[in-house]
Structure 1
């Protein structure tokens, strides 16, 4: 009886494989169906699709009847096959695909399966939805086999525990994906942007992009209707980008109906963030005409950033100058900052200062933002004028532009490079006191600590270096081993063995993962020095 059920399921899959691929022209024709419903040929094609849905629904019902006769161990797999068969009329396989993927998607929660009839009826009423479902199923085709998800959370406490398990660094990638899928039916989980980003980041870091594709494509079908919102699809574009999956970002972009400039700028950013600079230019030049939208200011700024990053400053300046006439878009301060960055990279100080004058002049009349000030301070530090950069940093608050962490790091780095570690340390200690709109100061990050620690050790200023190192370790950040080694050796030379031993013990607690073995070797060398000093 099990063999009979499996055979029936396999025959249903083979029917799907025999369905011809749908080209982009076919997809456009399907959308045209919704607009030309009065033509006889369109009515014939639409009726044929409706009949196909009825046929597949009947086959699904028959398969579900066979499910009752299967053993419990086979039930989950057959249910997934029935789900794929039901939606398979919109499935498109690449022409190069020779067989069905060897592993089927995981079963969807019962809450989602119960919505199938409603979704199918909506697709029949609007052929334009067919094209969106076609792309959605294409995303679903990337599913991998996952371990059985736990039961969906039913109470806020259940959901809170599930989220904690996802955040737990000890959770394996497969377990994380299973937990993620089990939480999808909960609306509060779908709205948790930070947890989505954390899950994608951890799975991508583990090299499990198959699981990234599974959880994100499943999140589409977890929505309460077959219409993913523009905002949710833009989230997917960015999440796929963060996982280094720009092709999936493009697929998500094509699901946005109607196409929007926001979605275009998100796709361009996805290409830029993955250093696909040629694809940014190509998409900017071709996609707007293809989907009938006009690139706006944000999309132009992404293009400027891309051209500067690729080293084509001349093309960036040409786009910048032509934006008002050709696109009807006035460059803003972000546009100006991108061009300033290009001049900074090429060392063209004269052009840099000329554009600064234009920004404040009557021609553009723009207010410099924190990015503009940071570029100015970067230029000053690069020219060995870090104290002037510090004066500019001090003046920012009075001009209504509070400095951020990047500004402090720029000036601290400049001072350290010039050997002014005392001034750098004083600026570091002043960071928490800087007034801001929310009343809080600026917190240093890992980069801040490392710049200071390395500069202080290099200068032989060990007491402030110890203070910086301990604060870094309290934040669970392990400094570079070479800097810590130099600091410990300096403390031992200064007859401060107790402080050196405390640093070694603190490092031992913070160092994790593969670095632990390497640190053990460094610590063994330093322990020998420490023993010699005691002797």
Structure 2
């Protein structure tokens, strides 16, 4: 008995050392759970070997209870899918769902969604069907996860089948979230017209639609350029007592911008202001992106100034969009000014955008500014320092 305990203790200690060596090879000390999670996430981002990714996940003992671990799971699944290593995905999820501490509906729902992210919808359906064998009961929340999994996998036909058959088969009454998920699937798949019958069914069953319901359907009709149906949905919102919030306006503005109808989207901004409503930074983000895509940079810059004057703080995405399109339009001095603002917030665009800016500054003989940008980027991302050294060496030919 003593020998068995000693062997078990030795085995556990070896596993801990093995875990630490993978997650933190430069240290002999044991890592806390949070340190393991952070290390795993960092390693997964850059790891290309699928077996190594699985080893990292196992060493970190990931759990869906932690936000960091959920992100790590998702990154791992994406990387394994990119490598077409589907057996590795199945292995990782099967190992997880059989862990005694993961036997809960919430955790199993998360793994159902991960199967959808991997495009393995057959495995997601099988996991849902076999939940009682795992000692976990099914509920409408898990059903909603399965429907969302179908959408992630782009399996809209399977989503329709599950929605049609499973509530009756398993005695699960659809909720507002169920209907909103199904509406999302129909609208994403180019079947926005189906939303009319879904909304009618909701009314029959006494399920009141909310802002999310109408935002989803309105975006779907815009995507299909069925503008008269957008008007019908706006009227239906009034009938159900759902307010036309800034969120609904943002969906309309984004939808028009995606259709390269940013001028019409800006008219909606004027409507918002005329009604005494306050646009938010999401409103401006959509408009700025829309006008940038259409090459109307002066309007985009004007909107950016209006946003600042309205005391709305731009986010990283807004800065990155402006810098990217300013570089495309060869407005490198404006791009530099925006880039400096962005970097003062700790937000640095990706390497391709920064290279475009640096090359552009060099082309207009702003070598000192280009070197400054390179110095800032090298300090923040030492991993790419070698690539930037090569770019900087080319400046000597210009000088």
| Aligned-residue RMSD, C-alpha | 4.2
Instruction: Assess, with a 3 A threshold, how the Cα gap between structure 1 residues 330 and 174 changes in structure 2: closer, same or farther.
Output: same
For 1:279 and 1:512, how far apart are their aligned partners in 2? 46
User: For residue 210 of structure 2, what is the aligned residue in structure 1?
Assistant: 332
User: For residue 153 of structure 2, what is the aligned residue in structure 1?
Assistant: 274
SS of corresponding position for 1:272: helix
Provide Cα deviations, 1:452-506, integer angstroms capped at 9, x if missing partner: 124323444322211334566753532535x843x44543454322113334555
Instruction: Assess, with a 3 A threshold, how the Cα gap between structure 1 residues 350 and 477 changes in structure 2: closer, same or farther.
Output: same
Contact 1:387 1:415 in 2 (8 A): no
Pairing of 1:129-148 with structure 2 (within 5 A)? none
Contact 2:125 2:146 in 1 (8 A): yes
TM-aligned CA deviation for residue 309 of structure 1? 1.7
TM-aligned CA deviation for residue 435 of structure 1? 6.8
Instruction: Assess, with a 3 A threshold, how the Cα gap between structure 1 residues 425 and 531 changes in structure 2: closer, same or farther.
Output: same
For 2:76 and 2:206, how far apart are their aligned partners in 1? 42
User: For residue 352 of structure 1, what is the aligned residue in structure 2?
Assistant: 230
Provide Cα deviations, 1:147-184, integer angstroms capped at 9, x if missing partner: 9664789x996434433432332677656644644665
Unpaired segments ≥5 residues, structure 2: 21-28
User: For residue 284 of structure 1, what is the aligned residue in structure 2?
Assistant: 163
Contact 2:319 2:338 in 1 (8 A): yes
TM-score under structure 1 length normalisation: 0.58
For 1:158 and 1:183, how far apart are their aligned partners in 2? 10
Instruction: Assess, with a 3 A threshold, how the Cα gap between structure 1 residues 452 and 165 changes in structure 2: closer, same or farther.
Output: closer
Instruction: Assess, with a 3 A threshold, how the Cα gap between structure 1 residues 231 and 355 changes in structure 2: closer, same or farther.
Output: same
Instruction: Assess, with a 3 A threshold, how the Cα gap between structure 1 residues 450 and 293 changes in structure 2: closer, same or farther.
Output: same
For 2:165 and 2:256, how far apart are their aligned partners in 1? 40
For 1:429 and 1:198, how far apart are their aligned partners in 2? 38
User: For residue 25 of structure 2, what is the aligned residue in structure 1?
Assistant: none
User: For residue 118 of structure 2, what is the aligned residue in structure 1?
Assistant: 243
Contact 2:147 2:162 in 1 (8 A): yes
Confirm whether residue 293 of structure 1 aligns to residue 150 of structure 2: no
For 2:115 and 2:87, how far apart are their aligned partners in 1? 11
- When the two structures are aligned, how many residues end up with a matched partner? 371
TM-score under structure 2 length normalisation: 0.74
Task: Point out the more displaced range, 300-309 or 251-260.
Answer: 251-260
Provide Cα deviations, 1:236-264, integer angstroms capped at 9, x if missing partner: 22233333333332233231654321111
User: For residue 366 of structure 2, what is the aligned residue in structure 1?
Assistant: 496
Confirm whether residue 411 of structure 1 aligns to residue 283 of structure 2: no
Confirm whether residue 318 of structure 1 aligns to residue 197 of structure 2: yes
Which residue, 189, 202, 205 being the options, matches 2:76?
A: 202
User: For residue 304 of structure 1, what is the aligned residue in structure 2?
Assistant: 183
Instruction: Assess, with a 3 A threshold, how the Cα gap between structure 1 residues 252 and 357 changes in structure 2: closer, same or farther.
Output: same
Instruction: Assess, with a 3 A threshold, how the Cα gap between structure 1 residues 379 and 214 changes in structure 2: closer, same or farther.
Output: closer
Contact 1:201 1:242 in 2 (8 A): no
Pairing of 1:110-149 with structure 2 (within 5 A)? none
Unpaired segments ≥5 residues, structure 1: 1-63, 77-108, 111-146
Pairing of 1:161-240 with structure 2 (within 5 A)? 161-169=35-43, 174=51, 177-178=54-55, 180-181=57-58, 184=61, 191-206=65-80, 207=83, 208-224=85-101, 228-240=103-115
For 1:281 and 1:328, how far apart are their aligned partners in 2? 21
Contact 1:201 1:243 in 2 (8 A): no
For 1:497 and 1:341, how far apart are their aligned partners in 2? 46
Confirm whether residue 368 of structure 1 aligns to residue 244 of structure 2: yes
